[in-house]
Amino acid sequence: MANVLLIGATGFVGSAVLNELVERGHKVTAVVRNVEKIAKNDLVTAVKEV
């Protein structure tokens, strides 16, 4: 399990990458414009873009 920083996790490609990372058991910090768009998951931490 790796720690991954994913920028743009709510976009078309980013959301697919996020799902794949979570399925593989990686812990993801997702940088997004709107944190409400990220599904609740123990492996995902959403951070609002500044």
Instruction: List, for residues 18-50, the tens digit of each pLDDT value.
Output: 999 999 999 999 999 999 999 899 999 999 988
The neighbour count for residue 25, using CB atoms within 10 Å, is 9
> Distance between CA 12 and CA 2 in Å, rounded?
23
- For the residues of 5-49, what is the DSSP string, one character each? EEESTTSHHHHHHHHHHHHTT-EEEEEES-GGGSPP-TTEEEEE-
> Distance between CA 4 and CA 15 in Å, rounded?
14
Q: Which residue has the higher pLDDT, 14 or 50?
A: 14
pTM: 0.89
Residues in the chain: 50
Predicted pLDDT at 48: 95
